[in-house]
Amino acid sequence: MCNDNGVLNDRESGWLAGQIQQRVDEHYQELSLMASPAYTLRPALTVDGNQWCALYGEDLQSGVCGFGDSPADAYEDFNREWYKKLKKVEKKKPNWSEMRKDCNGVTMGEYMDMLLKMQEGDELEVNYSEDGGCIFRMESGILKLYEIPQYGGDEVLLATSQNNSLRSLLEIAFDIK
């Protein structure tokens, strides 16, 4: 292998360099695997339909998961998913002038106008579903929003204008998110 001076010839040194590189690559792969999210976090591995699922968290909506035809594929997909950023979801604000949520066809903008004109003792009942409705009542200069159960029972105070804007009160009344 070596000549008299302890030096490898070209063919032997090329072979030895290839062996060293192969060992380095193997160790690098092992170290990369050990540093991966799937290895360190140990997500639950289950079968989901015809694929393997690696899930870290309580469920698919709030956790991180990867799918694949084999456990290794599921872990690889999990590792890719782990580094993905959440997509920004833009909340659309209601178009108050056009939105119709009431069974009477009254727009939110029209309700806003009615609320602004309310005087002491005035009431504005809003029926928005079969399950009951809401009533706005002006009491002691404060606009109060009550829930009215469908089949009787006590009214429940939901919110007041002391802590909420008129728009917030309407959003609460119509459960707009």
pLDDT tens sequence across 50-98: 999 999 998 888 889 999 999 999 999 999 999 888 777 665 555 555 5
Q: What is the mean pLDDT of residues 97-105?
A: 55
**Claim to verify: residue 132 and residue 168 sit in the same structural domain:** yes
Number of domains the chain contains: 3
Does residue 25 lie in a domain region?
Answer: yes
Helices and strands, number each (H, E), in the chain: 5, 7
Does residue 152 lie in a domain region?
Answer: yes
What's the pLDDT tens digit per position in 20-54?
Answer: 888 877 776 666 667 788 888 999 999 988 999 99
More confident: 142 or 125: 142
For residues 78 and 107, give the distance between their C-alpha atoms in angstroms, rounded to a whole number: 47
Does residue 5 lie in a domain region?
Answer: yes
Does residue 69 lie in a domain region?
Answer: yes
Q: What is the dihedral of CA 165, 171, 174, 177, to 10 degrees?
A: -170
What count of Cα atoms within 13 Å lies in the side-chain half-sphere of residue 56?
16
Find out whether 126 and 136 touch, Cβ atoms under 8 Å.
yes
**Claim to verify: residue 142 and residue 117 sit in the same structural domain:** yes
Does residue 96 lie in a domain region?
Answer: no
Angle value at C-alpha 24, between 12 and 16, nearest 5 degrees: 5
- pLDDT of 177 reads 40
SS3 96: coil
Find out whether 86 and 60 touch, Cβ atoms under 8 Å.
no
Does residue 103 lie in a domain region?
Answer: no
**Claim to verify: residue 154 and residue 116 sit in the same structural domain:** yes
**Claim to verify: residue 59 and residue 81 sit in the same structural domain:** yes
Q: Which domain holds residue 16?
A: 1-35
Residue 159 CB contacts under 8 Å (≥ 6 apart), including other chains: 144, 145, 168, 169, 172
Task: Identify the bridge partners of residue 47 per DSSP, sorted by sequence position.
Answer: 52
Find out whether 38 and 54 touch, Cβ atoms under 8 Å.
yes
Backbone angles phi, psi at 134, to 5 degrees: -135, 160
**Claim to verify: residue 77 and residue 61 sit in the same structural domain:** yes
Does residue 98 lie in a domain region?
Answer: no
**Claim to verify: residue 47 and residue 73 sit in the same structural domain:** yes
- pLDDT of 4 reads 61
**Claim to verify: residue 30 and residue 70 sit in the same structural domain:** no
